[in-house]
């Protein structure tokens, strides 16, 4: 009996978090909470939904990742103006399938390739520094055997922001970290060394993108981003056909 109880606990916690996310996002869509409004404070949400502080914090993180709210430390959490993020996978904390990841990559190939080209002509030194920091973190975490999802996502978001068009960033924020295919791919990988090799390849592709943006070469940046995301798509397609994920 004890193992069953342990297995149920994560499922229950996840459903409580999603319930809170769904409720607050509905209030935002319906105009109950408008742009600039302060989201009810943590203690109030804990009482209203009979959940833990951890659940509330996880829900706020998902809303922030979706671009729906912004937290100002020491002040509170506030509703942001509507953006394209709301119409995409807005609350993409859900588990996604391989088929969904492939569809996301098709969208990203189209959007991010042009975003990289724009970034090559519009980026600032601050944008470049952000990209480089994400790359450095990716490399250190990959070599330490740690997760690189946050670093990977941040890298691509930095490029979207450098495009100078806010909707590029909205698209990525709407898709959220679920669009990074590596964790699901790694889970289906039968050879652990292959996961590390994929990360090394991704890192080299990232370096090529940054170098093109640094040089201000729009054509090269577009081509490098296309190659990177297309390679990711092909790697995922090969994995889908592997017995390891059947």
Task: Give, in order, the Cα–Cα distances in Å from 49 to each of 20, 21, 104.
Answer: 7, 11, 33
User: Who's near 181: CB < 8 A, 6+ residues apart?
Assistant: 101, 104, 105, 232, 236
Residues 241, 235: Cα–Cα separation, whole Å? 10
The correct CATH number of 2-82 out of 3.90.700.10, 3.65.10.10, 1.10.10.10, 1.10.340.30 is 1.10.10.10
pLDDT, tens digit, 9 for 90 and up, residues 40-56? 999 999 999 999 999 99
User: Who's near 244: CB < 8 A, 6+ residues apart?
Assistant: 188, 189, 190
Averaged pLDDT score across all residues of the chain: 82
13, 86, 99, 92: which is closest to 56 by C-alpha?
Answer: 13
Domain locations in the chain?
A: 2-82, 98-245
Query: The pTM is what?
Result: 0.63
pLDDT, tens digit, 9 for 90 and up, residues 121-135? 999 999 999 999 999
Contacts 24+ apart (CB under 8 A), 124-128: 124/162, 127/158, 127/159, 127/161, 127/162, 128/162, 128/210, 128/213, 128/214
pLDDT, tens digit, 9 for 90 and up, residues 105-162? 999 999 999 999 999 999 999 999 999 999 999 999 999 989 898 899 999 999 999 9
Sign of CA dihedral 59, 61, 67, 73: positive
Residue 27 clears pLDDT 80, i.e. is over it: yes
In CATH terms, is domain 98-245 a member of 1.20.120.530? Answer: yes
Look at residue 97 in the predicted model and tell me its pLDDT. Answer: 76
> Which pair of structure tokens corresponds to residue 125?
């030194």
- Judged by average pLDDT, the poorest of 38-52, 71-85, 92-106 is 92-106
Domains 2-82 and 98-245 share a fold: no
For the segment 191-209, the average pLDDT, to the nearest whole number, is 84
Please answer whether residues 62 and 93 qualify as being in contact, where contact means their C-beta atoms are separated by less than 8 angstroms. yes
């Amino acid at each position: 009996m004890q193992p069953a109880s342990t297995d149920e606990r994560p499922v229950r916690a996840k459903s409580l978090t999603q319930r809170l996310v769904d409720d607050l996002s509905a209030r935002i869509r319906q105009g109950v909470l408008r742009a600039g409004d302060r989201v009810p404070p943590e203690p109030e949400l804990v009482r209203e939904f009979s959940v833990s502080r951890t659940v509330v914090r996880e829900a706020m993180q998902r809303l922030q990742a979706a671009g729906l709210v912004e937290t100002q430390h020491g002040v509170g959490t506030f509703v942001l103006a509507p953006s394209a993020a709301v119409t995409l996978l807005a609350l993409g904390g859900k588990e996604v399938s391989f088929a969904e990841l492939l569809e996301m990559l098709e969208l990203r190939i189209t959007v991010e390739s042009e975003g990289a080209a724009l970034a090559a002509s519009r980026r600032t030194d601050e944008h470049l520094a952000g990209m480089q920091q994400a790359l450095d973190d990716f490399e250190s975490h990959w070599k330490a055997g740690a997760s690189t999802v946050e670093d990977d996502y941040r890298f691509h978001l930095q490029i979207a922001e450098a495009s100078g068009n806010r909707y590029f960033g909205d698209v990525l924020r709407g898709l959220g970290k679920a669009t990074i295919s590596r964790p699901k791919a790694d889970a289906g990988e039968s050879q652990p060394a292959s996961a590390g090799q994929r990360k090394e390849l991704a890192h080299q592709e990232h370096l090529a993108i940054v170098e093109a943006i640094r040089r201000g070469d729009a054509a090269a940046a577009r081509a490098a981003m296309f190659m990177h995301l297309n390679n990711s798509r092909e790697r995922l397609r090969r994995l889908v056909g592997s017995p390891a994920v059947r």
